Structure 1
Amino acid sequence: MAGKSTFTGKQKAAVLLIAMGTEVSANVFKHMTEQEIEEMTLAISNARNVNTDLTKQVIEEFYQTALAQEYISQGGIGYAKQILEKALGAQQANDVIQKLTSTLQVRPFDFMRKSDPQQILNFLQNEHPQTIALVLSYLTPEQAAAVLSSLPIESQADVARRIAQMDRTSPEIISQVERILEKKISSSSVNQDYTQTGGIGSIVNVLNGVDRTTEKNILDQLEEADPDLAEEIKKRMFVFEDIIILDDRAIQRVIRESENEDLLLAMRTASDEVKDLLFRNMSERMAASFKEEMEYMGPVRLHDVEEAQTRVVNTIRKLEDAGEIVIARGQGDDVIV
């Protein structure tokens, strides 16, 4: 068999499974897909004349990688690198970390995703808004929402705007920011490719997790600074299909406040779940009338359907702004009243 340096990942796995024996290997196979089992069976059948030294090298590499993964889970990549450098030397430690991070596809600021939002706030609150926006765009929406809600009111909209307008960030900038924050939290992460960061979708996920007061403050300020951006964010924050998160009382109120023609058009492309929900909250006569009209409705432009859905969504947001319905947000126990 070829030397270890020319091994593929499957060949190394085959050598490892052979070394572990049939019983252990059989347990490993239980966690594989059918395709993976077929590929590994083929690799094992082709693994002939594997000498002892080669087997030891593969086992040692597996052991080092497993240790590195454990260290990363305990304290991040920076911590893992420090431990491995002491045990293996700088070059070998770097090789292990590179192989592992390429496999795990470790994202920048991974170490912060293990931190409490209040801790993250303490680390970031004195940083430049662009730095805060960069870090928040890599956190989970729940973490980012908690941090954004805790920032000073005057800076919330600025950070939200920067997240929304962020596109691609070079690995050099990401690494530089991480090195600065490394003084507060031991971590280091380098991504070889330009990384998709932030954007409208990112800030929408964050704002969907903040409280209504924070959301309104941010959107109000954005409307003054950048009306088009604010409008685009609002369009994506609550779409027509999200109507399923409202309770029956709220749905009935939306039906009463919406034009029948808008509802009829809006339901044209709606899921069966949404249609059933709306029909269930209409009077029998209204539901029967809608079903009949939908059955005989001719072709309509998708643009007209989307505009009708937007008008219904705007009605929902107006009712929420007036405090007449509540849209559940985040991970709390909000209910519709």
Structure 2
Amino acid sequence: MNGSRSTASGRRKAAIVLVSLDSETAASVLKHMRDEEIEQLTLEIATLGKVSSAQRDATVSEFYQLALAQEYISQGGIDYAKHILEKALGTSRALEIINRLSANLQVTPFDFVRYISPEQLTSFIEGEHPQTIALIVAHLRPDQAAMVLSALTPDLQADVAMRVAQMEGARPEVIREVESVLERKLTSFGTQEFSAAGGVKSLVEVLQNVDRSTEKVILERLEEESPDLAEEVKNLMFVFEDIVFMEDRYVQMVIREIDSKDLALALKTASDEVKDKITRNMSERASAMLREELEYLGPVRLRNVEEAQMKIVAGIRRMEEAGQLVAIREKGDEMVV
């Protein structure tokens, strides 16, 4: 019952804040809400009745203070937010706000590093133990983790990648200790909430965002160190060479969706099997034009070839997620969907 009253009270306050805004701003806020939330809030506004200026001012002020506190937490953690709010509002009010947020807010471990460039973060952590680096990488956004992983030495890349894949989570005290290490280097720290990270899927998300050269090095090292783990990672990934395992009808769909220049560039370093798979699924005229474009392409940067391959793979993954095709991964003598 208390929870229901609290939710109702929260909706009433949200309604008061919304009607205090101009119509354009209020409409903009509603665009970011789910249909169910919009319906509940609209009903609350409809039954709001008269609101005194004192009640409105108090509610808007409370909303502003909570929003400010949440921003402080994102920037430097709960301790940082508490310190700033105590200076602005006094100890009692600051504790009240922090306690309310702490009860409902889950801050992702290492959330504060999102304000740091991957280059800076790499320079801070590259001297740490590989397990420490793996813990940090596992909690980063995939794109940020990919850039950090790409900047490490090949040996360290493989070591960290394997540790991320084998990670099943970490105890809160371990995460806090590692965060403390970064605090001393970044002068920004907060006690973050525990959340599980790591594992094969986490590594796959990172590998899907790194450049092809880094991906290749890591997969080769994984195969040397742990063939079973490498196979598990590969089964969850779709790489450019896997086009040879796709059904012809799906290859034809992909060819229709990609730019011919990207296709020619991507095939520059491709195996004969991949080239044959592509050309067999094109008309004779289109196939001849592609071969001619490849012949006259001339020397190109490997990075440009890899970017073209990644662009095609990204398109295949998007089409697979949309249910338009099935991307098949190789597994020994059988195919795994």
Q: What CA deviation, in whole Å up to 9, does each residue of 1:188-236 have, x standing for no partner?
A: 1422xx5230222221222233344433332232222211011222233
Alignment of 1:262-277 (within 5 A): none
Alignment of 1:1-337 (within 5 A): 6=6, 8-18=9-19, 20=20, 24=22, 27-32=25-30, 35-48=36-49, 54-72=55-73, 78-90=79-91, 92-97=93-98, 99-100=100-101, 105-185=106-186, 186-191=188-193, 195-238=195-238, 240=242, 244=254, 247-248=263-264, 257=273, 281-283=282-284, 326-328=305-307
- Aligned partners of 2:211, 2:269: CA distance in 1, in Å? 23
Aligned residue identity for 1:238 = F
- Aligned partners of 2:305, 2:79: CA distance in 1, in Å? 44
Corresponding residue number in structure 2 for 1:291: none
1:210–1:42 distance in 2 versus 1, CA, 3 Å: closer
Corresponding residue number in structure 2 for 1:316: none
Contact 1:142 1:330 in 2 (8 A): no
Q: Is the partner of 1:183 in helix, strand or coil? A: helix
1:8–1:282 distance in 2 versus 1, CA, 3 Å: farther
Q: Is the partner of 2:22 in helix, strand or coil? A: helix
Q: What CA deviation, in whole Å up to 9, does each residue of 1:58-108 have, x standing for no partner?
A: 222112123224445655655433211222344543443454577664321
- Number of aligned positions between the proteins: 272
Q: Is the partner of 1:281 in helix, strand or coil? A: coil
- Answer with 208-217 or 61-70: which moved more: 208-217
Q: What CA deviation, in whole Å up to 9, does each residue of 1:17-53 have, x standing for no partner?
A: 45x2xx6256403531565443223213433575665
Aligned residue identity for 2:238 = F
Contact 1:68 1:97 in 2 (8 A): yes
Q: What CA deviation, in whole Å up to 9, does each residue of 1:263-304 have, x standing for no partner?
A: 7xxxxxxxxxxxxx87752548x9xxxxxxxxxxxxxxxxxx
- Aligned partners of 2:280, 2:101: CA distance in 1, in Å? 53
- Answer with 70-79 or 176-185: which moved more: 70-79
- Aligned partners of 2:307, 2:275: CA distance in 1, in Å? 24
Contact 2:85 2:94 in 1 (8 A): yes
1:119–1:252 distance in 2 versus 1, CA, 3 Å: closer
- Aligned partners of 2:309, 2:86: CA distance in 1, in Å? 42
Aligned residue identity for 1:188 = G
1:196–1:281 distance in 2 versus 1, CA, 3 Å: farther
Q: CA deviation at 1:149?
A: 2.3
1:143–1:26 distance in 2 versus 1, CA, 3 Å: closer
- Aligned partners of 1:157, 1:146: CA distance in 2, in Å? 14
For structure 2, the residue ranges without an aligned partner over 5 or more in a row are 288-301, 312-337
Contact 1:149 1:211 in 2 (8 A): yes
TM-score by length of 1: 0.64
- Aligned partners of 2:135, 2:84: CA distance in 1, in Å? 28
Aligned residue identity for 2:192 = V
RMSD: 4.0
Aligned residue identity for 1:200 = V
- Aligned partners of 1:232, 1:204: CA distance in 2, in Å? 10
Corresponding residue number in structure 1 for 2:292: none
TM-score by length of 2: 0.64
Aligned residue identity for 1:160 = A
- Aligned partners of 2:106, 2:119: CA distance in 1, in Å? 26
- Aligned partners of 1:45, 1:66: CA distance in 2, in Å? 25
- Aligned partners of 2:308, 2:196: CA distance in 1, in Å? 26
Contact 1:252 1:282 in 2 (8 A): no
Corresponding residue number in structure 1 for 2:335: none
Q: Is the partner of 2:185 in helix, strand or coil? A: coil
Q: Is the partner of 2:121 in helix, strand or coil? A: helix
- Aligned partners of 1:89, 1:208: CA distance in 2, in Å? 47
**What fraction of aligned residue pairs are identical, expressed as a percent?**
44
Contact 2:69 2:98 in 1 (8 A): yes
- Aligned partners of 1:159, 1:229: CA distance in 2, in Å? 13
Q: CA deviation at 1:135?
A: 0.8
